[in-house]
Amino acid sequence: MSRAMIDDWSAAYSDHIRSYRVDAPEVVLVGLTRDWAEMAPHLARKQPEDVSRDLAHAAAKHAYLIAGTAVQLHDTRLANRWWLTARDLADKSGDALLSAYTRTWEVTNRVSEPREDFAELLTLARDARHRAGQRPSPTLVFATSVEAEVLVFMGDHRAAVQSIRRAEETFDRIPSGEPHREERLLFDQSCVYSLAGQHHAAEEAQQAALRFYRPDTYLYTAVQLKLYHAAMHARTDPGEATKEAVNVINAVPPERRIKRVTRTARHVLRAVPEGARSLPAVQELKALIAG
């Protein structure tokens, strides 16, 4: 196995992540499977230590993308196997930040599933934050903000806001000249502040995030941001908020209404007051995400 082969698989990750943002899961999985089929025989063989580490590094990224794609395909059992593979490979790479990132990615993919064990996910998120270390980095910010996601989905709004503010403080301390990944923090701010009822902070985060997440390059994330905006207003104006959510869902082709879309839309329904559950737009939204 040549160094060029490992470099090629490492570079392919960028292509797969671009596809993951806009393409149907079946399309994403085809590309990932092709590269994995090439890597797998080499993973099974004994390699020199440096080759083994670098190969595990490239393979871990493919593995967690496969797991995330399996989630969107509604195959939880398959996803769970690949989460374990991704963690194992990330740890074998010797890169603590990759180990932290892999676990954080897992949590943010699993957290919207109502049947998940949120206590387990909170433990995994905190493990990721611990692995990211003390030095301010985009990975530490990501781990901290995803911990806030778990807390807000658990209904612990106070702790969620405290956690997202710790992420903001960490972001501000990342040394200049290093990658910041501001857009990722803005997305989690939008989620946490919207569901915690912090309207002003949520609006600011959403407007800033949508400048990064355009529908042509980040279809699913842009849709999620708009749905969080609807969820924020569903308590006070359920009719208009659910109409907004219906319009957002209808703008997504049916084959691309993946779990990331439908699960986020459920937050709109959960925020609708009991007395407004019979509104036509509420019933239409229910039917859309059920289908």
Contacts for 85 with CB less than 8 Å, ≥ 6 apart: 63, 67
Distances 235 to 4, 240, 242, 269, 284 between C-alpha atoms, Å:
55, 10, 10, 10, 17
Distances (CA, A) of 257 to 136, 212, 248, 261: 35, 21, 11, 6
**Per-residue pLDDT tens for 42-95?**
999 999 999 999 999 999 999 999 999 999 998 999 999 999 999 999 999 999
pLDDT of residue 177: 84
Res. 1: pLDDT tops 80: no
Lowest mean pLDDT among 3-7, 58-62, 129-133, 135-139: 3-7
Give CA–CA dist 98/212, Å, rounded: 24
Q: Say if residues 80 and 92 touch (Cβ distance below 8 Å).
A: no
Mean pLDDT of 95-110: 97
* Tens-digit pLDDT profile for residues 225-251: 999 999 999 999 999 999 999 999 999
Q: For residues 253 and 258, what is the distance between their CA atoms, to the nearest angstrom?
A: 10
Mean pLDDT, residues 115-141 taken together: 96
Of the CA atoms within 13 Å of residue 36, those in its CB half-sphere come to 18
Tokens of 100: 């932290």
* Cα angle 64, 69, 51; round to 5: 30
Under a CB-based contact definition with an 8 Å cutoff, are residues 89 and 60 in contact? yes
Report domain extents, the chain. Answer: 1-94
Q: What is the pLDDT of residues 252-269, one digit of tens each?
A: 998 888 888 999 999 999
Written as six digits, the tokens of 271 are 């925020």
pLDDT above 90: residue 187: yes
For the entire predicted model, the pTM comes to 0.91
Residues 131, 154: Cα–Cα separation, whole Å: 23
From the list 227, 210, 239, the residue with the least C-alpha distance to 289 is: 227
Encoded tokens for 3: 């160094």
Alpha-carbon separation of residue 286 from 129, 164, 185, 257, 263 (angstroms):
36, 30, 29, 14, 11
pLDDT tens-digit map of 141-174: 999 999 999 999 999 999 999 999 999 999 999 9
Contact yes or no for 249/285 (Cβ under 8 A): yes
Contact 213, 187 (CB under 8 A): yes
* pLDDT of 291 strictly over 80: no
Task: For residue 231, give the nearest of 218, 222, 240, 219 by alpha carbon.
Answer: 240
